Amino acid sequence: MNPVQTVLVADDDPAIHAVFRRLLKPMGVRLVSCLDGDSVESRAQEEHPDLVFLDVLMPGQDGTDVCRQLRKASQTALVPILMLSASGDLDDRLKGLDAGANDYIVKPIELAEVIAKVRTYLELSRMQKKLIEVERRQAVTGLLRGLAHQFNNILCGISGTAQVMDLRVAADSPIKEQCRTIVQYSHRAATISQQLLVLAGARRDSGESTVTDLLETASSAWEASMSGTVRIHKLEMKCSVPSFVRLRMGAADLQSALFHLMQNAVRAMQEGGDVRLDMWLEGTFAHLELADAGRGMTQEEQAKALEPFYQNWDRPSDAGLGLPFVRALAEEVGGFLELASHMGKGTRVTLKIPVA
């Protein structure tokens, strides 16, 4: 769902604002009104408009001066600006365009013209913001790749040194346990580094997997999720995905995704119980639905569960990257993650993976 867009109109005539209000409301566009030129810049900084209409002549600063100010401010430098004027004189139009305006509308305004230009420039603004976000994400992705590479090299050095020390010290030395703790935390840090790369969309194609891989990785993920846990849980697994289907996700990523989901399910059922994994094909997506009968989540917890670094009640030692990481793995291949939970009735997580 696209966010609500905002149009700022600066004009000293209340009738103009009434006209824009009637035009914009059916379009689902929010209106911000200014009756003088002096208040435009501060309101623009507060409201982040997607499109601005400026009357050329109004109390305080005129529209041309305001346009120049908006173009100098980084937050509004690229926002489309349309000038409103009772004069259609060419010199007046050129002054507005020279000040940085994108277009010019002569009063009395033609409703059809205004509607067409609002739609055109709001779409231009939306595409412009999307392009900026793509460029920003690409820059962040490049930085993360470089940092992750250097970070992993450091972690390898730390882990390797600790493992060598572990081999050299006596079996009864207290240093031995400390070395193993260093190795353990190094591996954990490396895992978080890889999760951050996935969350940032900074990885390459992860490959494909078969249904055989799916069954094997589900079993492996369950064993990994039960490591260090009393065996009071049982996995019920059912798969009706045809054997010829190939999934657009590599086996390693499948195992990582299922491991995090299963680990959450096990932690939510502290007194034990059955965890159900149902897998079926629906259209062009393989559905992997994991359900537990644990505590469940409140609406507030459910709303925040997919936010990075949010730590739920039953994950005090978790970095809060499990569910966001699984969602990123799914979205990386064009899939989805759906979450449904009710207090006292457990949680159901559905991973939808496109087929090749």
Domain that includes residue 273, residue range: 209-354
Is 15 contained in some domain?
yes
Question: What is the pLDDT at residue 82?
Answer: 94
Alpha-carbon distances of 95 from 98, 104, 323, rounded to whole Å: 5, 11, 54
Question: What is the pLDDT at residue 263?
Answer: 84
Is 124 contained in some domain?
no
Residues 330 and 225 in one domain: yes
Is 174 contained in some domain?
yes
Among the listed residues 193, 239, 195, 242, the one whose alpha carbon sits nearest the alpha carbon of residue 216: 239
Residues 226 and 339 in one domain: yes
Query: For residue 55, what pLDDT band results from cuts at 50, 70 and 90?
Result: very high
More confident residue, 158 or 189: 158
As a whole number of angstroms, the distance between CA 173 and CA 68 comes to 73
Average pLDDT over residues 291-307: 79
Supply the DSSP string of 259-306, one letter for each residue.
HHHHHHHHHH-TT-EEEEEEEEEETTEEEEEEE--S----HHHHHHTT
Alpha-carbon distances of 131 from 4, 124, 134, rounded to whole Å: 18, 10, 5
Q: How many domains does the chain have?
A: 3
Least confident interval from 22-31, 216-225, 315-324: 315-324
Is 10 contained in some domain?
yes
Residues 230 and 98 in one domain: no
β-bridge mates for residue 209, sequence order: 247
Average pLDDT over residues 205-219: 76
Instruction: Quickly count: other Cβ atoms within 10 Å of residue 315's Cβ.
Output: 16
Is 148 contained in some domain?
yes
Residues 299 and 262 in one domain: yes
The CA dihedral of 35, 36, 42, 47, to the nearest 10 degrees, is: 30
Taking only the tens place, the pLDDT of each residue in 5-14 is 999 999 999 9
Residues 278 and 318 in one domain: yes
Task: Check whether 116 has a pLDDT greater than 90.
Answer: yes
Residues 216 and 175 in one domain: no
Is 121 contained in some domain?
no
Is 142 contained in some domain?
yes
Main-chain phi, psi angles of 168, to 5 degrees = -90, -25
Residues 40 and 156 in one domain: no
Specify burial of residue 68 (Cβ count, 10 A radius: 0-12, 13-18, 19+): middle
Question: What is the pLDDT at residue 309?
Answer: 54
The structure's pTM equals 0.49
As a whole number of angstroms, the distance between CA 144 and CA 332 comes to 16
Task: Check whether 121 has a pLDDT greater than 80.
Answer: yes
Mean pLDDT, the chain, as a whole number? 83
Could you tell me the CATH number of the domain that includes residue 222?
3.30.565.10
